[in-house]
Structure 1
Amino acid sequence: MRTDLKGTGVSTVEDPPTNAVVQRLSMLDRFLPVWIGAAMVLGLLLGRFVPGLNSALDSLHVTSGVSLPIFIGLLVMMYPVLAKVRYDRLDTVTSDKRLLVSSLVLNWLLGPALMFALAWTFLPDLPEYRTGLIIVGLARCIAMVIIWNDLACGDREAAAVLVALNSVFQVLAFAGLGWFYLQVLPGWLGLQTAGLDISPWQIAQSVLIFLGIPLVAGYLSRRIGERTKGRDWYESRFLPRIGPVALYGLLFTIVVLFALQGDAITSQPLDVARIALPLLAYFAIMWAGSFAVGKGIGLSYERSATLSFTAAGNNFELAIAVAIATFGVTSGQALAGVVGPLIEVPVLVALVYVSLAARRWFAVQK
């Protein structure tokens, strides 16, 4: 089973023990949870105590609803990982019907339904937060999951395909699913309804900007780099140099996201705790269930890890953009969107280590 050690460009035939992988990671990779925690604290403090910072960050946009600082952070974060993808091997992923069908079912049938159920179970008396969580559940992963998948030694090519698939479905299905879960289904169940009024073009615009630009840049980098310098130079010299940039982009993005609602998060701790409970349940159930599905249908460790992280992760950038554009930057829906990464980031970082430790269950599939 091949493992590409982050930042080194080294591939091995056998999977080393988890502690061996951790020991060979760079200082930045090895203490990633510490740096992420520090970035969260810094963002919260900046948002809470720097006058006018929230408004200044929110006023900078690439286009309507798309924050310029978040766009920069996402581009820096996603480009190096997408530049690592072996695009000439994508056909080996698209031919794996078990992986594709499982991903579609988990992401677009079970994921939104689970978040809907958890939101109504934990927040029956808080409609704004409940609506925000349902929007998070509808925004399937297209961004940071690439980082978690890479840290867990998942299948990069499979991650690229599943992220692209989620992006297409997001454009086509988000508005319709929002209408169904926020208006139709609660009405059928006799529950209080809440509306979501956003055009499919707004969703498509966010997806194209947040994913399309770094995807094209990554593809062109590999194509041009291999053509001019060769694959050996590209993978042994170029990729190790740009690898750490992805994590710098991740940390910057986290600081900006938490600065945007630092005051709301720190001034409403009980509300944040109530929002956190269904999120914790969601990430745990989706990740563990998806990992078990991958193992159960005979996927390799790499593709099981990719399946689980792409199913458990959410595109909170899009969810926050939708919540702000629809309900306003100070709304409860926007706060619920921001609490999403507050819980998702540390939980999925922890699940990276759980995933690495679980590789031994796949030893017979080498």
Structure 2
Amino acid sequence: MEPARSRGTTTAGVPGDGSSRPPVHLSTTDRYLPLWIGVAMVAGLLLGRLVPGLGAALGAVEIDGVSLPIALGLLVMMYPVLAKVRYDRLDTVVADRRMLVSSLVLNWVVGPALMFALAWIFLADLPEYRTGLIIVGLARCIAMVIIWNDLACGDREAAAVLVALNSIFQVVAFAALGWFYLSVLPGWLGLDQAALDVSPWQIARSVLIFLGIPLVAGWLSRVWGERARGRDWYEGTFLPRVGPWALYGLLFTIVLLFALQGEQITSRPLDVARIALPLLVYFALMWGAGYLLGRGLGMSYERTTTLAFTAAGNNFELAIAVAIATFGVTSGQALAGVVGPLIEVPVLVGLVYVSLALRDRFPYARA
């Protein structure tokens, strides 16, 4: 049995005999997270509408198609969680074939196919939005899922491995799947066809920037910190100091993201509502499929939670960047990408609390 792990702002003790699971003790920031995220979203929308030229200023400097301030927020958000990963335990995750295969099937077979079906069911008469949603379905999550998994007390090491696996498949498969779901499959089914012009290198840059940088920084922090001061200092002193910055980075990113796209969102409310409906169905079904599959395979709570969140999350940064680069910043495809986090953030925060509520249904022993 593993000893209790420090989670910065979230802590969970472990009983000595493993017979029961103690409650999760949330800090004030964690306890009111939905409120803070709601305030951040509203603040971003208001800033985008009330401050002239703010969107242009935020988008003036970009990293791989993403606004520089937003890119910095994402890096700040991801670093603390990746600094907490016990990299010496990754071999136990890699050896779990059930989890790896389940994650690949959910992310690269079920997820894109489900989003394709929902896009055509709900947006058959709106081809631009439909194409944008399909692109969102192809962009598997490599960023915010780490935050949701950590808040839900999922397996941090498993999340790191699955995110890395998604990143590799994203580079290899994104363009090919885009061609298949936008051109080949609609042709077979007698539906309207579209095209997606995106290179593997464009996707690889996104992965290297938004996953590679914080991953290397987190690994170096743990290696150097433990060598210089020991594991007790690293996990008992250093991690609690840097841990809250993950949530600060998340809130900062949300404010800037919604400020950058606030005008599009608030000026087209009916379009946003139509795009939101299939997204709501998608996130709920993908999370539920991951949860039920993990439970059915006998995985622990920690790994079931990680499987569910890595299946449900999407890489909206990549989806927005690809949509803008291919169809233009004012396109319907770009708007569909922007609506993605508008729906994903509150839904997955809600699912964090659902996960914690279901925690006692699992034995503590980790698979």
Q: Same fold (TM over 0.5)?
A: yes
CA contact (8 A) 2:123 2:274 kept: yes
Task: Give the corresponding residue for 1:60.
Answer: 61
The Cα of 1:54 is off from its aligned counterpart by 1.1
Cα deviation, 1:326-355, whole Å, max 9, x if unaligned, reads: 111111111111110100000000000100
Residue range with higher mean Cα deviation, 1-10 or 84-93: 1-10
The Cα of 1:5 is off from its aligned counterpart by 5.2
CA contact (8 A) 2:77 2:245 kept: yes
Q: Does the residue aligned with 1:360 lie in a helix, a strand or coil? A: helix
- The residue type paired with residue 59 of structure 1 is A
Task: Give the corresponding residue for 1:181.
Answer: 181
Task: Give the corresponding residue for 1:50.
Answer: 51
Q: 1:337 to 1:117 in 2, by over 3 A?
A: same
Q: Does the residue aligned with 1:192 lie in a helix, a strand or coil? A: coil
Structure 1: any 5+ residue segments left out of the alignment? Answer: none
**Counterparts of 1:233-272 in structure 2 under 5 Å?**
233-272=233-272
Task: Give the corresponding residue for 1:341.
Answer: 341
Q: 1:31 to 1:252 in 2, by over 3 A?
A: same
For 1:8 and 1:253, the matched residues in 2 are separated by: 19
**Counterparts of 1:1-366 in structure 2 under 5 Å?**
4=5, 6-7=7-8, 12-14=13-15, 20-21=23-24, 24-62=25-63, 64-363=64-363, 365=365
CA contact (8 A) 1:9 1:239 kept: no
- The residue type paired with residue 79 of structure 1 is Y
Cα deviation, 1:253-300, whole Å, max 9, x if unaligned, reads: 111111111011111111000000000000000001110000001111
RMSD of Structure 2 on Structure 1 (CA): 1.6
Q: 1:10 to 1:48 in 2, by over 3 A?
A: closer
Cα deviation, 1:199-220, whole Å, max 9, x if unaligned, reads: 1111111111011000000000
Cα deviation, 1:130-149, whole Å, max 9, x if unaligned, reads: 11100000000100000000
The Cα of 1:67 is off from its aligned counterpart by 2.1
- The residue type paired with residue 174 of structure 1 is F
The Cα of 1:10 is off from its aligned counterpart by 5.5
- The residue type paired with residue 88 of structure 1 is D
For 2:271 and 2:324, the matched residues in 1 are separated by: 18
User: How many percent identity over aligned positions?
Assistant: 77
The Cα of 1:230 is off from its aligned counterpart by 0.3
The Cα of 1:364 is off from its aligned counterpart by 7.2
Q: 1:8 to 1:263 in 2, by over 3 A?
A: closer
For 1:124 and 1:257, the matched residues in 2 are separated by: 28
CA contact (8 A) 1:155 1:302 kept: yes
For 2:334 and 2:21, the matched residues in 1 are separated by: 41
CA contact (8 A) 2:45 2:259 kept: yes
The Cα of 1:365 is off from its aligned counterpart by 4.9
For 2:132 and 2:57, the matched residues in 1 are separated by: 23
For 1:344 and 1:66, the matched residues in 2 are separated by: 18
CA contact (8 A) 2:132 2:323 kept: yes
CA contact (8 A) 1:45 1:259 kept: yes
Q: Does the residue aligned with 2:329 lie in a helix, a strand or coil? A: coil
For 1:363 and 1:88, the matched residues in 2 are separated by: 24
Count the aligned residue pairs.
362
Q: Does the residue aligned with 2:243 lie in a helix, a strand or coil? A: helix
CA contact (8 A) 2:14 2:21 kept: no
